[in-house]
A and B are shown apart, each in its own frame.
Chain A
Amino acid sequence: MTAPDRIEAAKDAIAEQGADALEGLEVPIVEDGRALFVYEGRAEGVWLHHWIFGLQSAQEFLRTHPDVWTLELEVQRTARVEYKLEVQQNGERQLILDALNPAVARDPFATNSVVTGPDYKTPWWAVEDRSRRQGVILERQLQSEVFGDVRPLSIYLPARYRVTRRYPLLVVHDGLDYLRYAAFKTVLDNLIDRGEIPAMVVCFTQSPDRVHEYAASERHADFLATELLPLLEGEFSLEVGPENRALMGASFGAVASLHASLQHPGVFGRLLLQSGSFAFTDIGDHERGPLFDPVVAFVNGYRRAPVKPADRVFLSCGIYESLIVYNRTLLPMLQSLGVDATLVEAQDGHNWENWRDHLRAGLTWLFPGPLWMVYE
C-alpha cells in the first residue's frame, strides 16, 4: 500500500531536519485514512495510549531523529479517537497530552488529545448559533426524602415556553456533565429551532454518588418517579402519559434509566441509552470490579425475565468500547419485546463527544419534531 504523500514528505523531512521540520505543520498529520503522530523532546521511549477495545492500547513511537519520535497509524475516515502520549524520561513514565496537537476533549476526569479521520466533522447541531432561538436554564433545589439531602436540578425551558402549551419531558442523568461536555443546551436550541424535535422541558440531574445511585438502585428509581416527576409536573406545563416522558443517560446513567423505567412501569415511555454499561455474565464472574456487581446482577436478572421497558428506545455505542457487545445484545431483545428500538454504532469511544454527536439521532428518535409540518 502506498503511503500518502504528505505523511511521507513529513517523515523524510523530520529524518533530515529533526524538530525544524515541524515548523508550520499541523500535527498529527491526517491523510487518506492514516495519521502521523509526532513527539518532540528528549525521551527514552514514547507510546500512544488510546482506549480502543480489542486493540493494543500502547503503540510505540519510533525515534526518527535524536529528539523527534513518530508513529504512523491507520485512522478510519469518520473516526474520532481520544489518546494520550506516554513518555519515559529518566526511567519514569508519564501520561501527557500531545503538545503538538491543539485538539482536546474534556470529561469530568481528564483531558485527552483527539485525532479525527478526514471525514469527521463536528456536527452542526453541537455548534452554537446565536441566530437560533435560545432556551433558558433555571436552577432548582429538590429536598429529597428518598436520599435525605438536597438535589440540585438544572431545568431547560425552550424559547417561547408558555403555560398555555404543554411540553414533553426529558430527564437527563449526569445532566451537568452533559451540559458542560456535550453542549446539550446548544443541541437542544439548534434541534428545537429547526423543528427536528418539539419544544421540550429537559431536567438535568446530577448525582453526588453516581457509581452507586446509578447502579440499578431502587432508591434512585423511586427518586425519579415519586419525587422528581411530581415536582416537575407541579411547576411546569407538561404533557401527560409515558409517551411524553423520557429518561436518558450514558454509561451508568443508561443503566439507571433502563432500571427506573422497569421499576416504575408505565411512567417513562421513552429511553435514550448511550454507551450503556449493560454488563452481564452468562458463565462465571465478571471482571469489572465490585462497582459493577449490582449492575451485572440487574442485567442478568433482566436477561432471564425481560419485559418491555418503554415503547421507544434509542441505543448508541462506540465500536471502540467493550460495551458495544452488551448493547448489541440488548437491541434484539428489546425488539423481540415489541419495543420500537434502534442502535447506532459510532467509530468513537466511551466519551462525551461521542454522546454529543449522537444526540440528534437519539432525540429525534424519541420525539420527532414539527419539521414535518413547517413549509416556510
Chain B
Amino acid sequence: MTAAPRPLALLGPQHDRPTLREVLDRMGASGPYVLVSAGWEERESETGRLDAHLGESFRSLDLWPRCEAAFESDADLRHLMFDRHDRMKELSALYRIRLAAELSAARELMGRTRPDEQDPLVAPSVDLACGALRELDDHHCARVGALNEETFGEAAGRESLRSGRAEIAETLAGAGTLLVAGGHVGILYNRMRLFGVAESLPAATPVVGWSAGAMALTERILLFHDSPPQGPGDAEILGPGLGLAPGVVALPHASRRLDLADRGRVALLARRLAPELVVALDDGDSLVAGSGGWSARGARRLSTAGDVVGDLVGGQA
C-alpha cells in the first residue's frame, strides 16, 4: 500500500468534532500554517471557528477573492472556464449513460450472490462487470484530465492570474503546513489549479485536508450520495484530484451520505475502485500517511466483501 511521499493527513468533517489540532500535533506539522478554503466560496474568510480550534494564527491564500477579481477583469479567462464547464457537462452526460447501464448490470449480478462468497457461476460475471466499471471510470477520468490540462495550462499563462500565482508561490515557499478545508469540491479543485497551489508547494511541506479538502488531495475525486433529492445516486468520478495523496479514495460524511449497512453497495464501490483504498471519513476520523503507509484513527475501509472495517490492509483484494 503506497502512502504520500510527504507528511499528509486526510480528515473527516471538522464541524462537530474537530481533530485538526490533535492531528497536526501528532504529525509534528508546525506553522506557519497556510489555509486554502476556496471551497467555502464567498464565505472563505469566515474562519472564526477554525481560529478558535487551531489556537494560533494562519494565513489564507484568498483564492476565492483572487479568482473573482481575475474573472471580472479578464473576460477571456471567464470564457475559458465557461467553456470548460460546458465540456465537463457534456463529458458527464456521456459518462452517465454508460455508468447507469454498467452499474445496473453489476448490481443485478451481485444480487445473485453474496458479496463475501465466490459463487463459481456468477463470480466471473461480477468480475467482468466490475472491470467494465473500472475501465469506464478510468476512461472518464482520463478525458476530464485531458480537458483540465488544456484549460488550466492555458489559464496559467493569463496575465490576470500572474501576480496572484507569484504571491501564492512565495507564501507556500515559506509555509510550515498547508491546510485545505472542505466545501464545494469542484470549486476548490479549480481554484487550486488556477493558482498552481500543488505545483508551488515544496515537496516536503506537510499537507492536511478535510472533507472536500481531503478529496481534492487524492488522485481521483469520487462524488457520492446514496439518496440525493432526485436521481439514482450513482457514485461517479468527477475527475482527477491533485494527486498528493495517492492510492486513496476519500469519502467524507460517508455515514450520512452512504448506506454503509448495505453490503452489496459497499462491496460494489470497493470492487469498482480497487486497488485503491476506499476510506470512510466521518466526524473525528483521520488517515495519516507515515513511513509505513497509512494509519487510521476512526477512518474505516470499505472492503470488497461489503464490510466497513478499521483494518486498512486486510481487504486489498
Residues of A within 8 A of B (CB): 160, 162, 164, 166, 196, 360-361, 364-365, 368-376
B42: chain A residues at CB < 8 Å are 160
Q: List 24 A-B contacts (CB under 8 A).
A: A160-B41, A160-B42, A162-B68, A164-B68, A164-B78, A360-B229, A361-B229, A368-B228, A368-B229, A369-B229, A370-B186, A371-B225, A371-B229, A372-B223, A372-B225, A372-B228, A373-B184, A373-B186, A374-B183, A374-B185, A375-B183, A376-B182, A376-B183, A376-B211
The 9 closest A-B pairs by CB, nearest first: A164-B71, A375-B212, A364-B229, A364-B230, A375-B211, A375-B252, A373-B186, A196-B229, A376-B182
| Partner among B68, B185, B230 whose Cβ is within 8 Å of the Cβ of A373 | B185
Since A368-B230, A371-B225, A373-B187 are in contact, a sample of 10 more A-B pairs with Cβ atoms closer than 8 Å, ordered by chain A residue number, is A164-B68, A166-B82, A196-B229, A361-B229, A371-B229, A372-B223, A372-B228, A373-B184, A375-B182, A375-B183
- On chain A, the residues within 8 Å of B185 by CB distance are 373-375
Selected from B68, B184, B229, the residue in CB contact (under 8 A) with A374 is: B184
Q: Is A365 in contact with B184, judged by CB distance below 8 angstroms?
A: no
Encode contact with A along B210-230: 1 for CB under 8 Å, 0 otherwise. 011001000000010100111
B residues lining the A interface (CB < 8 Å): 13, 15, 41-42, 68, 71-72, 78, 82, 182-187, 211-212, 215, 223, 225, 228-231, 238, 252-253
CA distance A371 to B257 in the complex (A): 11
- B72: chain A residues at CB < 8 Å are 164
- Please name all residues of chain A whose beta carbon is closer than 8 Å to the beta carbon of B187 when the two chains form the complex: 373
Task: State the total of A-B contacts with C-beta under 8 angstroms.
Answer: 53
Q: How far is the CB of A234 from chain B (nearest CB, A)?
A: 17
User: In the bound complex, how far is the Cα of B77 from the Cα of A164, in angstroms?
Assistant: 10
Interface-centre pick from A364, A369, A375 (highest chain B CB count, 10 A): A375
Q: State A370–B238 Cα separation when bound (angstroms).
A: 12
CB-CB under 8 A from A369, the residues of chain B are 229
Residue of B nearest to A342 (CB): B230
- Which B residue sits closest to A360, measured CB to CB? B229
Question: B158 → chain A, closest Cβ, in Å?
Answer: 14
In whole angstroms, what is the CA distance A361 to B252 when docked? 26
Residues of B near A372 (CB, < 8 A) are 223, 225, 228
Which chain A residues border B71 with CB–CB below 8 Å?
164
A369 to B186, CA, bound (A): 13
Which residue of chain B has its CB nearest to the CB of A133? B42
* Residues of chain A within 8 A of B82, CB atoms compared: 166
Bound-state CA distance A160–B184 (Å) is 15
- Please give the distance in Å from A38's CB to the nearest CB on chain B: 40
> Within the assembled complex, what's the spacing in Å between the Cα atoms of A368 and B183?
18
User: Which of B13, B41, B71, B230 has the most chain A CB within a 10 Å cutoff?
Assistant: B230
Choose from A196, A364, A365, A373 the contact partner of B223 (Cβ within 8 Å): A373
Asked if A375 and B215 make an inter-chain contact with CB atoms under 8 angstroms apart, the answer reads yes
Q: What distance in Å separates the Cβ of B134 from its nearest Cβ neighbour in chain A?
A: 21
Cα of A375 to Cα of B211 in the assembled complex, Å: 6
Q: Do residues A371 and B228 form an inter-chain contact, with CB atoms below 8 A?
A: yes
Closest to B213 in A: A375
Known: A164-B68, A164-B71, A164-B72. A376 touches B15 (CB 8 A): yes
Q: Which residues of chain B have C-beta atoms less than 8 A from A370's C-beta?
A: 184, 186
With a cutoff of 8 Å between Cβ atoms, the chain B residues found around residue A196 in the complex are 229
CA gap between A365 and B228 in the complex, in Å: 11
- Chain B residues near A373: list those with CB within 8 A: 184-187, 223, 238
Q: What A residues does B229 contact at CB under 8 A?
A: 196, 360-361, 364, 368-369, 371
Output the nearest chain A residue to B77 by Cβ-Cβ distance: A164
Nearest CB in chain A to that of B71: its residue: A164
Neighbouring A residues of B183 by C-beta, 8 Å:
374-376
A276-B135 Cα distance, complex, nearest whole Å: 44
Minimum CB–CB distance for A375 against chain B, Å: 4
Which of B13, B42, B184, B212 has the most A CB atoms < 10 Å from its CB?
B184
**In the docked arrangement, what's the CA distance between A360 and B71, Å?**
32
Q: Give, as a whole number of angstroms, the nearest-CB distance from A247 to chain B.
A: 19
Are B230 and A361 within 8 A (Cβ)?
yes
Closest to A163 in B: B72
B84 to chain A, nearest CB (A): 13
Determine the chain A residues whose CB is within 8 A of the CB of B211 once the complex forms. 375-376
**In the docked arrangement, what's the CA distance between A373 and B212, Å?**
8
B250's closest neighbor in chain A, by CB? A375
A365 and B225 CA atoms in complex are apart in Å by 16
In the bound complex, CA of A162 to CA of B252 (Å): 30
Q: How far is the CA of A352 from the CA of B88 in the complex (A)?
A: 38
Separation in Å of the A131 CB from the closest CB of chain B? 13
In the bound complex, residues from chain B placing their C-beta under 8 Å from that of A361 are: 229-230
Contacts of A360 in B (CB 8 A): 229
Contacts of B252 in A (CB 8 A): 375
**Do residues B230 and A375 form an inter-chain contact, with CB atoms below 8 A?**
no
Pair B212/A374 contact, Cβ less than 8 Å: yes
**Assembled-state Cα–Cα distance A166/B238 (Å):** 21
Given the complex, which residues of B lie within 8 Å of A365, measured CB to CB? 230
**Bound Cα distance from A370 to B42, whole angstroms:** 15
